[in-house]
Structure 1
Amino acid sequence: MSLHDYLTQRGGAERVFELLCRYFPHADIFTSLYDAKNTIDLGDRPVQTTILQQLPYASKYFRLLAPFYYPALRALDLQDYDLIISSSSSFAKGVRKGPGAKHICFCHNIPRFLWDTKVYLRGYKEFQVFTPIVAKVFGYLRKLDLQYAQEPDLYIANSTTVSARIRQVYDRPAVTINYPIDDSKFIFSESKENFYLVSSRLLSYKRIDIIVDAFNSLGWPLLIVGEGPERQRLEAKAMSNIRFLGYVSDGERAQLMAKARAVITAALEDYGLVPIEANFSGTPAIAYGAGGVLDTQVPGLTGLFFKSQTADAIREALLQASNIQWNYAMIRNHALDRFTEAVFFQKVGNCAGWWKP
């Protein structure tokens, strides 16, 4: 069976789970909450949920249910399954397995909201008035998280950054295997148009604000794909050379990736799928040089790093990138050699002798 924390949105973790579901076409799918309209496309496969699914507006306000996910997921009856594949950045790792069963956890990160609470809550200012209550609740949840983190038999982390966090916080070993991209969803183009691209949820830790500041200064055309609580604030400060497109279809996003001069990311990402998606499109990534991109990008070949999360650093990297004669075919080949599903699942099979498709 395959399990994800909750399927209420469509982000990088959900896209990885989509690949796992396709690799295991007959596996039963479980999650705590499921909102088919706003998450990955699972076709007509049934999705089994928890008691939380019965709560009104649960999918809309899923973040407020943090104290209840572990009890709900541990109440699932998984005794008949001999292999559990979980995709988790929070709670799915804590499900109960049956006697003799094996549990592989594809860990996207330890729970950011529990272990880096101040940074996480900067994106949700409306909840900061509840900080004293949140601190007590999260303290309790951290104890549960440490306890249930011992459940999986094998952790597979998406980057060396996440592997280090698993070892440091959970005292568990983790194998690092960079997660794949469904390359069939991206278009290669050597013909670039005169715009740059951001594709991201509009949350404060994504640091779209400093990207906007950099492009305000340069006056270069920037397209921003994505929704989030920061959109109104960002639109208010952006000049006319910056356009917010909101949600776009996968096909539209692929076209934008292929035609952009570069894709910009400014967050400290645990892994970061967007730079790899850009590379599959033959497009260089300009990224903050920390975290997961250190595993996936080659400066000067697939993109450029900037050393600090400031508008000045981004502007300097953009100017430097504009003077490079990028080999777009080489950028795509780099991604094809390292981040396809075939490469990924071969590595997984090599590290888990009891892994079976």
Structure 2
Amino acid sequence: MKVALVHDYLTQRGGAERVFELLCKRYPDADIFTSLYDPQHSIDLGDRVVRTTYLQKIPNAPKYFKLLAPLYYSAFRSLDLSEYDLIISSSTTFAKGVRKRPDAKHVCFCHNVTRFLWDTKTYLREYTAYRRFYPLLEGVFQWMRQADLRYSQEPDLYIANSSVVARRIHQTYGKPAQVVNYPIDSNQFTFSDQKEDFYLASARLLSYKRIDVIVEAFNWLGWSLLITGDGPERETLQARAMNNIQFLGHVPDATRKQLMAKSRSVIVTALEDYGLVPIEANASGTPVIAYGAGGVLDTQVPGTTGVFFKSQTPEALHAALLKARTIPWNYRNIREHALSHFSETVFFESVDQVIQGVLGD
């Protein structure tokens, strides 16, 4: 059986790219396709050949890949995948639209519906540089939404990383999706049941991450808070923070691993489609205090691995922090839950079962 692996673009390294990296390791003989490839800024594929589209020939295309959005559909449709029996795409946008033979199968790991098309206002809040072009963009987006709906019918099966993403796929594309929670590399995290007197937030400092809620709550409490990560909100957040809050910026993986293991709790205030940080915290034996919506509903057990709060407000987080102090956490059970549900072994057992089901149809 000849297998093709397809990803939207390999120009950055994020959660979607990490999943694609796992798929590449799982299928070492598969051919790899993407629209644009920048090996200096994306996942490590060793000496494997990465086949790209005509967009790769555009000067500086990997750097300005977002500006090429209207061209991606035609780029992926131009790929000749007629010799492949199984196509596995990894997509939040365009890769799901590749062509296949009528008798071939296409399984799409859909990390989300195309956000800039179906949640445009939220997307533009994060990318303010594009906001002033909204009147022009909306006309283009209307055309692209129709294309997105049309090409979303290409995959034979969708795999979603969480229940909330599965619902979006069904609501937007009219296609059912099977939920397979994405894994973490448990070897990258260390366990400790000796917690220190500080809390941790680990996130990019973007507006939708709602780090402002955490800062305000800890300003009231005066408890020690460490924040790792960087982003355009950092200066504003630091200006609002009291002396009990430290911004560490980007930290080495080894430092982050120790902080995860030693903190009292890791705090997540964003509405995440899935979210690996809560699972990473649990793999370190650390409970999570999280906004109770989105992906955490699939990964956390209230009272056992973490505490939920119902609104993205300092008041709600404040109450959850006080509640968490009253819970006699079993740190080993927290870690065991993460390892037994979100390891790479468990992930690929589920993936193999799903793909065999598709091939057996």
Shorter chain as normaliser: what TM range?
over 0.9
Q: Can you list the C-alpha shifts for 1:145-196, whole angstroms capped at 9, x where unaligned?
A: 1001001111011111111111111111111121222212221121222322
TM-score, with length taken from structure 2: 0.92
Q: Say if 2:102 is the partner of 1:96.
A: no
Alignment-mate amino acid for residue 292 of structure 1:
G
1:291 maps to 2:294: yes
State the alpha-carbon separation in 2 of the partners of residues 250 and 78 from structure 1: 38
Q: Which AA in structure 2 matches 1:248?
A: V
User: Which whole-Å CA distance do the structure 1 matches of 2:234 and 2:63 have between them?
Assistant: 18
8 A Cα contact 2:159 2:180, kept in partner: yes
Identity %: 66
Deviates more, 1:63-72 or 1:330-339: 63-72
RMSD, matched Cα: 1.9
TM-aligned CA deviation for residue 355 of structure 1: 6.4
Aligned to 1:8: 11
Q: TM-score, normalised by structure 1?
A: 0.93
3-state SS of paired residue (2:264): coil
CA contact (8 A) 1:349 1:355 kept: no
Give the secondary-structure state (helix, strand or coil) at the position aligned to 2:246. Answer: strand
Q: Which residue of 1 aligns with 2:30?
A: 27
The separation in 1 between residues aligned to 2:59 and 2:228, in whole angstroms, is 29
Identify the range of structure 1 (311-320 vs 215-224) with the bigger mean alpha-carbon deviation.
215-224
Aligned to 2:161: 158
Contact 1:120 1:205 in 2 (8 A): no
* Unpaired runs of at least 5, structure 1: none
**Residues 1-357 of structure 1: pairs in structure 2 closer than 5 A:** 1-353=4-356
Letter in 2 for 1:343: V
Q: Secondary structure in 2 aligned to 1:30? A: strand
- Code of the residue aligned with 2:305 in structure 1: it is T
Count, aligned residues? 356
- SS of 1:245's equivalent? strand
Q: Structure 1: how far apart are the matches of 2:58 and 2:73? A: 16
Whichever residue aligns with residue 127 of structure 1, its letter is Y
Q: Counterparts of 1:312 and 1:187 in 2: how far apart (Å)?
A: 32
Unaligned runs of 5+ in 2: none
Quick one: distance in 1 between partners of 2:223 and 2:56?
45
3-state SS in 2 of match to 1:87: strand
Q: Residue type matched to 2:5 in 1? A: S
Greater Cα shift, 159-168 or 71-80: 71-80
Instruction: Write the letter of the residue equivalent to 2:70.
Output: P
